[in-house]
């Protein structure tokens, strides 16, 4: 930070205060950027120009809003209900088995660079979580809300863990390039292929550990349903 503009540090205070007050994160970040720029001696016109330049250079990010609208339309037309009906017809489907299959598919796809094939917004919320709930409902009956939230949390965790440990196997993923750049800055020369190969044992370990947890998930759900019926 330039010592000539100590007021630029106001942006940090704005972030801390905004999050402490639980204000809208987007507004907090925008206010922090404005405070930092003004504190650094920039004019309002310069700040607005920088905002416009950043938005124009990263406008592809707005494409996600089209995906959200499409998913919302599909849900309104009964996507979740269809997913529940499909799982209800599968006699051998359980919540643990379903999430284990999704976990392995998600990790396998991420390991070859197909990280966009899953995700919370486009897969977990509209499809995976409702299917996981339906699998338990078919065997245990109506589920209390705490159990539903428990299943949804596991559905989200399956997606997160599979992506996190699977994507580093792909040689051209951003995380591999970031690690390579950081190591080179500190005098450690390493090739992306070496980093990718080192990520394979970690991904296998994650699959074994989380896969074991998912094999025990159905018993945990049944126990929680039984406990909720006793209270």
pLDDT digits (tens, 9 = 90+) for 116-171: 888 888 888 888 988 899 889 888 888 899 999 999 999 999 999 999 999 888 88
SS3 of the chain: CCCCCHHHHHHHHHHHHHHHCCCCHHHHHHHHHHHHHHHCCCCHHHHHHHHHHHHHHCHHHHHHHHHHHHHHHHHHCCHHHHHHHHHHCCCCCCHHHHHHHHHHHHHHHHHCCCHHHCCHHHHHHHHHHHHHHHHHHHHHCCCCHHHHHHHHHHHHHHHHHHHHHHHHHCCCCHHHHHHHHHHHHCCCCCCHHHHHHHHHHHHHHHHHHHHHHHHCHHHHHHHHHHHHHHC
Return averaged pLDDT per consecutive 10 residues of the chain, 231 residues in all. Answer: 63 86 83 84 82 66 61 66 68 87 94 85 86 88 91 95 90 78 81 85 94 94 85 55
């Amino acid at each position: 930070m330039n010592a000539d503009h100590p007021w630029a540090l106001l942006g940090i205070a704005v972030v801390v205060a905004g999050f402490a007050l639980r204000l809208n994160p987007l507004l907090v970040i925008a206010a922090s950027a404005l405070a930092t720029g003004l504190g650094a001696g920039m004019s309002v016109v310069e700040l607005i120009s920088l905002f416009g330049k950043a938005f124009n250079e990263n406008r592809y990010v707005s494409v996600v809003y089209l995906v959200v609208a499409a998913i919302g339309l599909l849900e309104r037309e009964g996507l979740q209900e269809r997913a529940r009906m499909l799982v209800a017809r599968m006699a051998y489907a359980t919540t643990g088995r379903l999430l284990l299959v999704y976990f392995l598919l998600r990790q396998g796809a991420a390991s070859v660079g197909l990280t966009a094939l899953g995700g919370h917004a486009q897969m977990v919320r509209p499809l995976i979580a409702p299917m996981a709930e339906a699998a338990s409902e078919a065997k245990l009956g109506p589920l209390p809300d705490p159990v539903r939230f428990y299943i949804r949390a596991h559905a989200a965790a399956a997606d997160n863990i599979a992506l996190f440990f699977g994507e580093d196997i792909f040689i051209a993923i951003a995380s591999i390039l970031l690690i390579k750049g950081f190591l080179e800055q500190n005098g450690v020369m390493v090739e992306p292929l070496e980093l990718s190969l080192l990520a394979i044992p970690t991904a296998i370990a994650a699959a074994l550990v989380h896969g074991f947890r998912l094999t025990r998930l159905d018993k945990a759900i049944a126990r929680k349903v039984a406990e909720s019926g006793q209270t």
